[in-house]
Amino acid sequence: MSIKRKKPQSNSSTMKRVSIKKKAQSSSSENKGLAIVLLSGGIDSCVTTAIANAEHTIALLHVGYSQRTQSREYKSFRAIANYYKVPEARIFSTKIDYLSKIGGSSLTDQDIPVDKDSTKSQIPLSYVPFRNTHLLSIAVSWAEIIKAEEVYIGAVQQDSPDYPDCRAKYYDAFNRLAKVGTRPSTNIKVVTPLLEMNKAKIVKRGIELNAPLHLTWSCYEKNDIACGRCQSCTLRLKAFKDARVKDKIPYI
């Protein structure tokens, strides 16, 4: 009598279930002290990552919003994530294009020129209307899911006093919103460790923490060689000079 043998079950679905289970187990084991860092790829967010990494298990969030240097910033984001050996399970990168459709900023509108050699006291053309609120909303949503209690952002008030969403009172207000707008069981707080620091102090703090400043990108206009003249490049060059540290990225 012939015995029919059962065909071995395809292991693709089994492997998928195991993979999802392992990811969930990994996430649950890392939830203690878990913090999300908004990492753009610039100096401020890089040093903020170094600060958060010294105190927490970090998860990294990158949001592209169709800015001029989106591809270059993403490259820096990935390089910094690799430097800190953050696993893919704790990396989330996404893109939103509606801010460029709304326009009103030299970062997202090609018809608006990028400010050059200017750090004067007025809201600069590079200000993206209400941008940080959009980014923080994504971060807080993710924090609810992965049970992170803190969201770090590298906002700087001293060097950007005219950006409305880089002020202490803005973050106080956002934290109140996060408290009333999330589950009662959550306790998510936005943390701004650089808010009262100037750029030179930020560079020095990065050096102290061995932050990979050479992997960062600040230029608002160029994707290959930094222009050296936009507001962001001007602040960066001055910061490295004041900190007496060599800036290792290329400039025109």
- Residue 74: inside a domain: yes
Provide the whole-model pTM: 0.86
> How does pLDDT run across 102-124, given as a tens digit for each residue?
999 999 999 999 988 555 557 88
> What percent of the chain stands above pLDDT 70?
84
Instruction: Write the burial class of residue 62 (CB in 10 Å: 0-12 exposed, 13-18 middle, 19+ buried).
Output: buried
- Residue 128: inside a domain: yes
- Residue 11: inside a domain: no
What is the residue-averaged pLDDT of the chain?
A: 88
Q: Tell me the two tokens of residue 119.
A: 């750090």
Q: Report the run of H or E that residue 168 belongs to, with start and end.
A: helix 168-181
- Residue 54: inside a domain: yes
Residue 157 belongs to domain with CATH number: 3.40.50.620
- Domain range enclosing 212: 31-243
DSSP annotation of 52 reads H
Mean pLDDT of 54-81: 98
Report the domain count for the chain.
1
